[in-house]
Amino acid sequence: MVAPQKFTEFIDSNADRFIDRLGEAIAIPSISGDASRREDVVKMAVWLEAQLNEYGVKTEKIPLGQQQLEGKTLDLPPAILGRIGNDPKKKTILIYGHFDVQPANKNDGWNTEPFTMHYEKDTGKIFGRGSTDDKGPILGWLNVLDAHSTLGLDLPVNLRFCFEGMEESGSEGLDDLIASEAAKGQQGWFDGVDAVCISDNYWLNTRTPCLTYGLRGIAYYQITLSGPGSDLHSGIYGGAVYEPMTALIALMSKLVTQDGHILIPGVYDGIKPADSEELKKYEELDYSIDDLEGAAGGKIANSSERITVLMGRMRNPSLSLHGIEGAFSGVGCKTVIPAKISGKFSLRLVPPQTPEDITKKVVAYVKSEFAKLNTRLNLEVEYMHGGKPWVADINHWNFEAAKKATEAVYLQTPNYTREGGSIPVTLTFADNLGVNVLLLPMGRADDGAHSTNEKLDVSNFIKGSKLLGTYLYEVAEITQSA
Amino acid sequence: MVAPQKFTEFIDSNADRFIDRLGEAIAIPSISGDASRREDVVKMAVWLEAQLNEYGVKTEKIPLGQQQLEGKTLDLPPAILGRIGNDPKKKTILIYGHFDVQPANKNDGWNTEPFTMHYEKDTGKIFGRGSTDDKGPILGWLNVLDAHSTLGLDLPVNLRFCFEGMEESGSEGLDDLIASEAAKGQQGWFDGVDAVCISDNYWLNTRTPCLTYGLRGIAYYQITLSGPGSDLHSGIYGGAVYEPMTALIALMSKLVTQDGHILIPGVYDGIKPADSEELKKYEELDYSIDDLEGAAGGKIANSSERITVLMGRMRNPSLSLHGIEGAFSGVGCKTVIPAKISGKFSLRLVPPQTPEDITKKVVAYVKSEFAKLNTRLNLEVEYMHGGKPWVADINHWNFEAAKKATEAVYLQTPNYTREGGSIPVTLTFADNLGVNVLLLPMGRADDGAHSTNEKLDVSNFIKGSKLLGTYLYEVAEITQSA
């Protein structure tokens, strides 16, 4: 290990104080989606900025404008941009995190008050809203700064910080801020950034640390079928008219097979099969079909081949049918012929798929299949929203450093994972700064982010703090020796 | 015409009084589905019974027990059973009608107060809730009784009456009453009934009187697919698991073609093709594809052959897909893999189809198609409710009499129609009494029963009253000469 022993010892010996500090952060109910809690999000920003300043980080709270929420015009909570270190011989790492949280109420099913930290010593679990998403990881960085400041140690790299308070509510204003700071180059807060590190996702399981190097994109569609002027009675019209539901169901049935093969022509164009190196990464993943089915709550894996299932989840495109708007959706029976209905589905994308290209193929295919149905109904195909997929180069020093740090702290080789869902800020940093982005999670798969009884294992918090610091030393080590 | 001229003249010369009486009936808001109006349904029963008694009809208000409505235990409104005439040389006709109505509020879109009759003299329309459904037809019978009582004319047939106050709320209690009265034979209120006449449906158009001799049955199903323990995120699980929606959509797509052909094996077994006599009835129908499409609000007829469309609506089975419970049904986008979803569909049945037989075929087919999908999901197929189809013999004297009466009063040959939907009491009478049942509508297709601005054309009310009386004379004439 290249991190100094006194750093890791400091983290261990100050664990109780760090846990108390996490309790302070959890106690501020910084729910970005609740207008009545906006003051608390701002309070959390002030609290975090003060901590950063105490350890020598220069900061600025950047206003992000206003939003409409629950009929009110509210100031968006500020983002905090920060800087420590300006040594041209050192690499510069940009750290991202968010200090807002999801809503939580005790009577949603929490065993304890969500905004009062509950440290269960016998299980080693720290319960509380935000414990793992994303206050724990942010405080991991504070712990690293605290150790270096208190011990009088120089940081091995220059650090830049970007902390936001709107992640759980669509990161409003953040894309523009990142773009404008990136455009400022050496005059901006992101001057000299060589790589980005984000701790805002989770291990694949409860056992093995991981590095995340890919995210699937998304393209969401709505197919609307119409014909009658209003909903019709199936007794009176059934058998005499073309029914929008019959046509919609036929179209939706032609999008994907039961085992997940997408039927839209050209949708797989350009997707490279996994090479032996990539296949090896999946072989090495500490994740079984039982793990997946346990998390899903049912024996529903679409293959008995572990690697097929893992690749289906992480690196292959997928298509899911979500539902129908405008049809009968209640309990019981209604003999309606719905007049106008919209089927919703989305594709998860992987490189080189883009929402633009996939949209052309979806629209052409749905229209051509609709023509074959030969009805007198009307069709509309709409692209609703989307985002590009992202895959990072895991041979970059940024990932190499994280791997070595993981091995040093956890004595385990990390899993290399790709997330099936999206973390949009990842792509914003990659696109605007043109540097390698590393997702370095702190928490475990069962932490319950967004759910009741959210927790962070104390070992993840303390080892995770060591991991973040050690990662910085490994960055310095690798890039100096290179 | 065999009806005495002084009968028809009496109807004409008392038209204003009859319209006023309809106004009295409309003014009692006898909404069976509204607990706060239950007293008004009872008031309407009392009003109707008094009218019947005034014209010599012996009656009894039969209690039907209690129901739960809006959290209250309420007495069901009584049915009124009645009898006039006991001449063994005359035929005995049972008349059915209902004195309850659908809810109505002015601000639903009514131009006038729904429970204040509005007689628009220049258009000849009588507006008000219940005007056509079903107070107008009931009062048509009162007009016939009034004429005979006032003129001192003997009725040409014996009459029995069955009027209920729960038709718009599922006819609670009525089936049991009809069965028990039928079982009493000569000791019951339905003693000696030779045929039934029901005025509670509508012409096929606005121009041509009709006799209705068939109703389609129904069999309603729910297919439930499940697998995951709870709703899943499509980013995390899409591509790795079998998805209930994909399987449900595949199953729903295999039930019916776009032009309405049902794909369930054996579903058409035993249905006779229309013979030349029946085809002629469709040829004679005064109803165009434009009429159908005008009413449906869209150019959606599933054939350019008028007779094909009409037979699709009236005499062939059909299958409609109604919707999905448990999937995303809101506006906008949600990236959910729904865990448990129920697809709803129903078949309209024609003789000799029965819900029991069709259910066997549906369950077997859906299970076999599900097995072919080869997923690891769970399937449940449920029969939700149903009712048998009904077709009457139009060569029976009951229909012959109605035809002659129509020709005498309207100077038009009636259309012979079958309704696509169900009027359950029809089958209850047919099954329990074993006699011919005639549906003899008074109102037009555009009367707006159940809708806003419900109306009855005054010509339909007055000519309709003549039609009902004349029908009784024709019954007597035909059956005496036979």
Q: Kind and range of the H or E element at B437?
A: strand B436-439
Q: Which residues of A are catalytic?
A: 100, 167
**A330/B298 Cβ within 8 A:** no
Rg (chain B; Cα; Å): 25
Contacts with A18 (C-beta within 8 Å, 6 or more apart), sequence order: A11, A139, A143, A146, A461, A462, A465
pLDDT score recorded for residue B450: 85
Mean pLDDT for the stretch of residues A392-410: 98
Ordered structural domains, chain B, with CATH: 5-215+389-481 (3.40.630.10), 217-271+316-387 (3.30.70.360)
Of B134, B164, B167, B194, which is the active-site residue?
Answer: B167
Q: Quick one: closest CA in B to A326, which residue?
A: B329
pLDDT score recorded for residue B1: 54
How many angstroms separate the CA of residue B309 from the nearest CA in chain A? Answer: 5
On the CB side of A142, CA atoms within 13 Å amount to: 27
Of B100, B134, B164, B172, which is the active-site residue?
Answer: B100
Instruction: Classify the C-alpha dihedral B296-B297-B301-B306 as positive or negative.
Output: positive
Instruction: Classify the C-alpha dihedral A60-A64-A69-A73 as positive or negative.
Output: positive
Q: Nearest to residue A83, comparing CAs of A2, A189, A196? A: A189
- Given a cut of 70, whether residue A246 has pLDDT beyond it is yes
**A338/B323 Cβ within 8 A:** yes
Mapped onto helix, strand or coil, the DSSP state of residue B338 is: coil
**A246/B250 Cβ within 8 A:** no
**A249/B253 Cβ within 8 A:** yes
The C-alpha atoms of residue B81 and residue B158 are separated, in whole angstroms, by 14
pLDDT score recorded for residue A303: 96
B274-320 pLDDT, tens per residue?
999 999 999 999 999 999 999 899 999 999 999 999 999 999 999 99
- Given a cut of 80, whether residue B203 has pLDDT beyond it is yes
The C-alpha atoms of residue A124 and residue A456 are separated, in whole angstroms, by 9
Mean confidence (pLDDT) of chain B: 96
The C-alpha atoms of residue B362 and residue B255 are separated, in whole angstroms, by 9
The C-alpha atoms of residue B230 and residue B340 are separated, in whole angstroms, by 8
Mean pLDDT for the stretch of residues B22-51: 97
Per-residue tokens: A222 = 């709505």
Nearest to B344 among A236, A316, A328 (CB): A328
pLDDT score recorded for residue B368: 98
The C-alpha atoms of residue A140 and residue A168 are separated, in whole angstroms, by 20
Q: Are A101 and A133 in contact (CB under 8 A)?
A: yes
pLDDT score recorded for residue B404: 98
Active site residue B100: yes
Mean pLDDT for the stretch of residues A174-188: 96
Q: Beta partners for A226?
A: A340, A378
Active site residue B167: yes
Q: Are B381 and B221 in contact (CB under 8 A)?
A: yes
How many angstroms separate the CA of residue A56 from the nearest CA in chain B? Answer: 39
Q: Nearest to residue B200, comparing CAs of B450, B28, B21? A: B450
pLDDT score recorded for residue A327: 95
Q: Which residues of A touch B246 (CB under 8 A)?
A: 256-258, 320-321
Mean pLDDT for the stretch of residues A224-253: 96
Mean pLDDT for the stretch of residues B204-220: 95
Mean pLDDT for the stretch of residues B86-108: 95
Q: Which residues of B touch A427 (CB under 8 A)?
A: none
Mean confidence (pLDDT) of chain A: 96
Mean pLDDT for the stretch of residues B71-89: 96
ipTM for this model: 0.89
As a residue count, chain A comes to 482
pLDDT score recorded for residue B421: 81
Instruction: Name the pLDDT band for B482 (thresholds 50, 70, 90).
Output: low
pLDDT score recorded for residue A77: 98
Task: Classify residue B230 as exposed, middle or buried by CB count within 10 Å of its CB (0-12, 13-18, 19+).
Answer: exposed
- Given a cut of 90, whether residue A423 has pLDDT beyond it is no
Mean pLDDT for the stretch of residues A265-282: 95
What is the DSSP-derived secondary structure letter of residue B102? -
pLDDT score recorded for residue B384: 94
CA–centroid distance for B82 within its chain: 22
Q: Which residues of A touch B328 (CB under 8 A)?
A: 322-323, 325, 344
Question: In degrees rounded to 5, what are phi and psi of residue A126?
Answer: -105, 110
Mean pLDDT for the stretch of residues B165-190: 95
B55-70 pLDDT, tens per residue?
999 999 999 999 998 8
Q: Are B80 and B48 in contact (CB under 8 A)?
A: yes
- Given a cut of 90, whether residue B420 has pLDDT beyond it is no
pLDDT score recorded for residue A63: 97
What is the DSSP-derived secondary structure letter of residue B40? H
